[in-house]
Every structure is written in C-alpha cells, then in structure tokens.
Amino acid sequence: MAAVWVGAAALVAAGWRGRRSPHRLMRGAALWTLKDVPHYSRQCLMVSRSLCSARCDSNEKTFDKILIANRGEIACRVIKTCKKMGIKTVAIHSDVDASSVHVKMADEAVCVGPAPTSKSYLNMDAIMEAIKKTGAQAVHPGYGFLSENREFAKCLAEEDVIFIGPDTHAIQAMGDKIESKLLAKKAKVNTIPGFDGVVKDADEAVRIAREIGYPVMIKASAGGGGKGMRIAWDDEETRDGFRFSSQEAASSFGDDRLLIEKFIDNPRHIEIQVLGDKHGNALWLNERECSIQRRNQKVVEEAPSIFLDSETRRAMGEQAVALAKAVKYSSAGTVEFLVDSKKNFYFLEMNTRLQVEHPVTECITGLDLVQEMIRVAKGYPLRHKQADIPINGWAVECRVYAEDPYKSFGLPSIGRLSQYQEPIHLPGLITYGSDRTEALKRMEDALDNYVIRGVTHNIALLREVIINSRFIKGDINTKFLSDVYPDGFKGHKLTENERNQLLAIASSLFVASQLRAQRFLEHENSRVPIIKPQVATWELSIKLHDEVHAVVASNSGPTFSVEVDGSKLNVTSTWNLASPLLSVNIDGTERTIQCLSREAGGTMSIQFLGTVYKVHILTKLAAELNKFMLEKVAEDTSSTLRSPMPGVVVAVSVKPGDMVAEGQEICVIEAMKMQNSMTAGKTGKVKLVHCKAGDTVGEGDLLVELE
C-alpha cells in the first residue's frame, strides 16, 4: 500500500490478512494496514491530475521481471506498482513465510532459506541464485534488510542485474555518518557542530563531549532507525552511552564505530524526500514531519509540516538536492534534518532507500515513488520539474507496533494473533484530507476501527497523540512523549462525561448479554418450565479505577436508558455481541468501541477512545454479597527483578552475595537490537541470579532475586 497507513513500520503480519487462523508475530514487529495502491490513488482524490495521468505510460519499456528482495507490506507495495506497470514479479521468502500475502501476490516465488533472517532475507548467495533461476532483470530491495547494503548492490552489478536504488558510491557515502557529514559540509549543507572522526574509547568520548559541551549525541557511524544512539548530559552518561551505542551498533550493523555531535535540545525531526535520475536531475518532494518519536524511532509522521514556512521549506529542499547531486544520487531517497525553534536546520543523515513513511509524500504530491524508482533505474530522466511538485491536502501516518506503550512508550511484545481486522471499510481511510483537521479525524476513526487481538499494541498511545492539544497546535519536538507524559503513558484520562459514557456502554452491554441469555433459554426444549423474570430495570454496581458507581438501566428495543451517578444517558446500538466492533450512539455522540472480553464473574474489558478499560459489573445484590469475598493479597515484587520484555540477555553485572544499590545496573537485555539496562528496585544483597549472558528470556521471566 502506498498511502498513509493506519499502521506501519515492520514487515510481519502482512501474511495474515484478517483470517481467523493465528499467525505468530516477531518481537516488536508492527502491524500493517493498507495494501492497495490503486485504492490509495483514488482515496488521495488524484491530488495532482497532471502527475497522476502520467503514471502509466504504456509506451515506456522498463523491465520484464523484477525480484523483490523483501517481504511483508513493502513487498506487497512494490508488487502493486509492478502490476500497474505490466511487470512480472518474483517474491522471495523464508520457509515459514511460504503462505504470506506477498508470496501469493507475486507471479513467482522462491524460498531462500529458513526462518532466521540471517539465513534467508539477508542471505545474498541464496537471493542471487533466485535471480539466476527466475531470470529477473532487476531487484527492488524495499527497506530494511539489504536495501542499503553496498555489497549486495555490487553483486547485482557484477551479474548485470539492475539494483532499483542508488549506485554503490552513494550508498557507501551516505551510509557512513562520518563520511556523509563531511560531504554535506562540502556541499554547503548545514551540519551539527561536533567531532567528525571516530571515537576510540569511553575516555576519548568524555574528552570530546567536554570540548563540544553537554548535552551531546553519541551515534553509530553506520547507524539508522534510532539504533546505536544515546543522549549524554554528563561524563557518566557519556561512558554508558559509549558502551551501549557501540554494542548496539555492532549488533545491528556489524560496525561499532561512533561519532559525537552537539545535541540540539527540543528539536523537530523534519525530512525532505528527494528524487534523482542518472542524468544529473534531482527534485525535492516537500517535507515530512517525523518529530513524534520514542527511543529515536518514529511513531507518527505527517506531510506537510505545520511548522515550516515556504522560505524554510525551499531552503531545506535546495540543500537536500545539493547533497543528492554531490553524490550523484539516482533514485528515491530521504535527507533528514533537525530543526530548532527558530527554524535553523541541520543535516542529520541521508537514507538511501524508500522510507516507511513515503506514502504521506505520495498523498500530497500524487507521485508513485516506486514507479519513479523503477523508471530511474531503467535510465529514464525525471519527467517532472520542481515547479510541478504540489502540496495538495494533508496526510498522516501512525505506526501501529506490537509493543506495550505503558512500558517506556513501547517495549516489544510478542504473541499469537487471534483476530485481525483492518479498517478498510472507512471512506478516505488512508487518512488523507483536504486539511490537517480532516486527516487527523480520519486517523482517529481508523484507529478506533482497527481490531488486533492476541498481542499488545500501541493504538492507545497513537490515538492520544493525535488528539493531544499540543500536537493539534503543532507544538511538538522529538521529546514530545516524555514532555507530555513525564511519568510514562497511562492511557486516556477520562473526563466526567466520557466516564459516564463508558459506564453507560458497559451497563448496556451487560444487560444486552443477560437478555440474550434469556432468549437462548426460551428456545431450549427443556422439560423443566422456566420462570421468566420480568425485569423492568436493572440495578447495577460498576467498579472502574477502584471507584464504585451505582447504575440503573432499562431498555426499549435497541435503546438503553442509563442513569449513572445522577446523569441520564440514552445508548443505542445494534448490540451485535459477536462483532469485534460496535458502533454506539450516546445522546447523539457516535462512538466505536470494542468489547475485548466478558467474564462470568462480571469483569469486562472495553476499548474506548483507544484505551482498554477494565470494569467489574455486578447486580446490586451480587455486589452486596461480593463484600464478603476474600481478596487476593498482592505479591511483593520489590525483591525481584523480572524482564519487562522478551529479549536476549547481553550481560549480567552481579552474582549471588553482591550488594547492590537502588538504580544500579543488574543486567542488560537486548530487544529489537536495542540495549536496555535493567536496574535494582531497592538496595540489598543478591540472593539468586536466574540468567546468564546469551539466555533468551520472555516478558515477566525472573532474572534476579534480592534478599
């Protein structure tokens, strides 16, 4: 799908398209939404008729067959454009991905190895063999995996296979942060003050940081995607940052070299999409605002930016093009900048590939970037001038991850999908609108209608971000999440009116289920006569957030009249209790809710305004009797350290008998190639250590016990 997704960011789960059979997710993987490029084009309302009408020139000969060296959503995205252009496609897959959607969409498919990506999607020998076997003339790498691998591009060139991306020189130059910064300076692109060499050790890192002046940013030279990056405010954090960043860099990129730059406090992250050809032409396709981040990784993107004026936009675009021309860039790429509050901007890095967030640019310009990449790779010149590139409307993308937003704004989560339903029934679903307000409202509706069961996801956080008053005003920066939620994300905070709406909905669901049970009994051929209770009103007791509310409900057909703490509400719905989504009208206000579970003991989980709330509903009599039930004593967890996420133990810093202080590092867990320091919750002596370096641990696994 080449549009603004309701969910984006990784490549799994695209093989599971709403069917009810379970599908295992990778750690921290994202769940995708939209898949259809022609649908995207229609929903973007043909934002530029002149550009769109030029998309499929049947007289332009490109390639007969393209192999997509990727999987999941981006592979589906490339295949869609290839079909539109009349190009046959070859999918590659691991043995466990044989039934994935991208495999079924392609004209041919080749297995390139077992499940581990190092043995399949990163297996260059197997992929080269697949190219020879199928006779593919070109390879589109998607993003991730081998998309920025210079050796892969070189191997293709040696076999006269076209790499649909920039040449090896540009990949190498822009893939190395040290070299790219020097090239940017030479091209007169604004750069961040810092040390341009390679930092040798922690002592040198401290010396350099002091010279630059705190705070500083420590980053992997070969890095990207937020991996290998740490902010340091003092010497101690610089030493820790050097250690963790070098470990992450080695793990993620096989290159532990680091550099240090001045940290621009409270910056925006704004990137410019560029497009170049092999004839020396290059364009800038406007900007994308990518400031909403956690752990230096993007969460929400939009185009255009609410912050930039036309003069700053032009200056950033021209510098991005200058850099692209300096390295003779020929494909779609992205030049990323940090922008301060006074609109001063500084070069951050260049991504020599298609970006996850490329659809928002496509929405406001009308260009199909995959098609343009294919044309350029074949040798055609760009068919548009800078003056032809419009900004038409607004587009928003939210990345729906399989992670827990209540833990550090999103620690990886694993599980097995039990139900998955994309909100493709909504009009204008790609969250493109004539203005920002319309685009955000469509995103809000789409998130409410996105059904994901079986794994923890971050929809609650995404929805809160896009309705936050600061976000709506455009008052954002890369520290937005920590500034808005200094104590961590806690979910949506209900107003009194919203709380009453939730209680009224829960009451109506409870009574509706009771009435359905009665109807079921009435149709049973029981030899024992059933005494039908004549209940005009239901007196209920509902517990929410440790507060108990008295509720009285009655119904007339599909409408329930509910009195909550003195407020009267009328709730109307179809009350289809088997549906994962329920559209509810509360005194004229439309809400889409999801009832995730209803237990016999009265506990109900309802997704309302993006957040899942647990309510405990009992009849008035049952509530009175419930007071005599014993409560389970909460476990004392102060003496134990459990893993907050699934991952691999990188290092263990203590042994039995050691004394540790509160906040002291106990061990390091790696999840999604990010290093996470686990610390002691109190001062005490280590009693038992239950893990060692190299162990794979799950969420909640016991790591260390203190006496």
Question: How far, CA to CA in Å, does 282 sit from each of 61, 278, 321, 323, 632?
Answer: 22, 9, 6, 10, 66
Per DSSP, what are the bridge partners of residue 90?
67, 108
- Is residue 129 annotated as part of the catalytic site, yes or no? no
Phi and psi dihedrals of 650, rounded to 5? -90, -40
Q: Cβ(268)–Cβ(293) under 8 Å?
A: no
Bridge partner residues of 74 (DSSP): none
Q: Of the residues 349, 397, 403, 464, which is catalytic?
A: 349
Catalogue the E-assigned strands of 162-206: 162-163, 194-195
242 in helix, strand or coil? helix
How many Å apart are CA 117 and CA 129, to the nearest integer? 17
Report residue 243 as tokens: 């250690």
Give the CA distances from residue 707 to residues 656, 659, 682, in Å, rounded to whole numbers and listed in that order. 10, 10, 10
- Determine the angle formed by the axes of helices 177-186 and 168-175, rounding to 10 degrees: 100
The answer to whether 364 touches 47, Cβ cutoff 8 Å, is: yes
HSE on the CB side for 506, CA within 13 Å? 34
The pair phi, psi for residue 71, each rounded to 5°, is: -145, 180
Residue 502, token pair as written in the block: 């939730």
Strands (E), 402-500: 403-404, 411-412, 419-421, 432-433, 451-453
Quick check: 325 and 491 in contact, CB under 8 A?
A: no
C-alpha 177/C-alpha 258 separation (Å) is: 9
E strands present in 282-393: 282-294, 297-303, 332-339, 345-351
Q: CA torsion, points 548, 549, 554, 557, in degrees to nearest 10? A: -80
For 13, counting Cβ atoms within 10 Å of its Cβ (0-12 exposed, 13-18 middle, 19+ buried), the class is: buried
Q: Are 88 and 136 in contact (CB under 8 A)?
A: no
Whole-angstrom CA distances from 679 to 61, 228, 446, 641, 653 are 60, 20, 38, 8, 10
In terms of Cα–Cα distance, which of 403, 326, 134, 323 is closest to 336? 323
- 231 CA to centre of own chain: 22
- Asked if 269 and 263 touch (Cβ cutoff 8 Å), the reply is no
Q: Where are the beta strands (DSSP E) in 205-315?
A: 216-220, 229-232, 258-262, 268-276, 282-294, 297-303
Residues acting as catalytic residues: 349
